[in-house]
Structure 1
Amino acid sequence: MNELFRRAAGSLKEAGWTCEPRLSTEGGAYAPLYTAPDTVNAWVSSFSLLSSADETVWFLSSDDYSSEAQGAFAWNEFEQLSIQAATTADEAAAVSHFWEHHLPILLSVRNGYEYLAVRDDGAVVHGTEPEFEEAVVVLSQFEDLLTYIIERPERRSRVLESQLFDATTDPQ
């Protein structure tokens, strides 16, 4: 897996991303990562910073999931926004239920608020404002995202290209 991570981070660096390796392997697993697939845990633990050149898209690192993490956006920022927007207890419960089964791994403010998350079954989903919970599957497994980053297949995903490689592409 380390080779896959190294190659994916290398491809992003070639596309102008900033990548800072994780300096310390100390620090425990944070609660949001307890149920995440091992590959996701290993990926988010492989860097301390991984962000686009324009700093509008970034992968969350393991430290971002800490309750003490500092930054403009919390790892669960979009869940918090949706709960604040809920008008009934049932709506708030539905939001919480959705996010119990989706772990954000990438946040974006490039074309409005967007994210990529890993669903309980390993699928990578994409969601946007204002209805963050109306997510669509973009890849069937997390490892497919890393492979996509490395290989950039001929048949490209507009969503992934917009978030990962082209600051001028509008996914709509």
Structure 2
Amino acid sequence: MGEETLNDKINEFMIWAEENGWTITKNEDHQLHLAGSLLSRYKEIPNDYLEFLSVVKRCITPDEKTWFLCEDEYNNRSEAEFKWNEFEMLSLEAARDDELWKSEITAWWDSYLPIVMSVDGGYSFYAIDLTNDIGAIVRGYEPEFEEVEQAAHNLEEFLELIMSNSIEFQ
């Protein structure tokens, strides 16, 4: 047996998700067209997540309270009422007129690309660390979205943890 590639892992995850009642749609043309505004802000999106996005078009849990952010979400073309940067916007709203706090919030989100959003039992998200432990997946939740803990060392491990129900999505 050769090394299992990330692509194998993504396919395994897609099969698992479908078998477990998720709404999962394959990106048939494998082309990725992310908005320039996203790419200019996040210049260093890890290849493994770009790979995931080029394969997965939609990925939503059975209860529809948790979803992966995919191309349509990042390009603000999805039907979800939440924008991909909803939690950053909520934090900025909370900071009101405190410009220093606002700039700290924006700087923090510059370093973390949200990849999963959840409204299950409160607002929470998973994001890719683009600065400190590059490629690691962190989890944050309300009210202090920016106080995160590491959930996985990389995307592959994150998918593993979901499939083994170590990270539980309904």
Question: Shorter-chain TM-score category?
Answer: 0.7 to 0.9
Separation of aligned partners in 1, 2:24 and 2:100: 41
Q: Which amino acid aligns with 1:47?
A: V
Report what 2:108 is aligned to.
98
| 1:129-140 matched pairs, under 5 angstroms | 129-140=142-153
% of aligned pairs identical? 31
Residue deviations 1:97-117 (CA, integer Å, cap 9, x gap) = 110000011010111111000
Q: What is the alpha-carbon root mean square deviation over aligned residues?
A: 1.8
Indicate yes or no: 2:43 matched with 1:43: no
Q: In structure 2, what residue type is equivalent to 1:110?
A: D
Counterpart secondary structure, 2:140: strand
* AA aligned opposite 1:107: M
Aligned to 1:7: 12
How far the C-alpha of 1:71 sits from its partner, in A, is 2.9
After the TM superposition, which of the residue ranges 110-119 and 17-26 deviates more from structure 2? 17-26
Query: TM-score w.r.t. structure 2 length?
Result: 0.84
Q: Which residue of 2 aligns with 1:29?
A: 34
Helix, strand or coil at the partner of 1:45:
helix
Correspondence 1:55 to 2:60: no
| 8 A Cα contact 2:139 2:151, kept in partner | yes
- Cα pair 2:25 2:57 within 8 Å, conserved: yes
Summarize the Cα distance change of 1:109–1:89 in structure 2 as closer, same or farther, 3 Å threshold. same
Q: Which amino acid aligns with 1:131?
A: E
Aligned with 1:116: secondary structure?
strand
Q: Structure 1 stretch 16-25 or stretch 94-103: which is displaced more?
A: 16-25
Which runs of 4 or more aligned residues in structure 1 lie more than 4 Å from their structure 2 counterparts after TM superposition?
67-70
Report the residue type matching 2:74 in the other structure. Y
The number of equivalent residue pairs is 157
Residues 127-167 of structure 1: per-residue CA shift (max 9 Å, x gap): 111111011111122221122234x17xx3xxx22xx2xx3
- 2:18 is paired with a residue whose SS is helix
Output the TM-score relative to the length of structure 1: 0.83
Q: Which amino acid aligns with 1:16?
A: G
Q: Report the more deviating stretch, 90-99 or 70-79.
A: 70-79
1:83–1:92 contact (8 Å) kept in structure 2: yes
Q: Is the Cα–Cα contact under 8 Å of residues 28 and 55 in structure 2 kept in the other structure?
A: no
Match of residue 155 from structure 2:
142
Partner of 2:3: none
Deviation at 1:68, TM superposition (A): 4.7
- Among candidates 68, 77, 87, match of residue 78 of structure 1: 87
State the distance in 2 between where 1:27 and 1:41 align. Answer: 8
- For 1:100, the aligned partner's letter is D
CA–CA separation in structure 1 for the residues paired with 2:107 and 2:51? 25
The structural deviation recorded for 1:69 is 4.7
Please say if residues 22 and 46 of structure 1, whose CA atoms lie closer than 8 Å, have aligned partners that are also in contact. Answer: yes
Which of 111, 116, 129 in structure 1 is aligned with 2:126?
Answer: 116
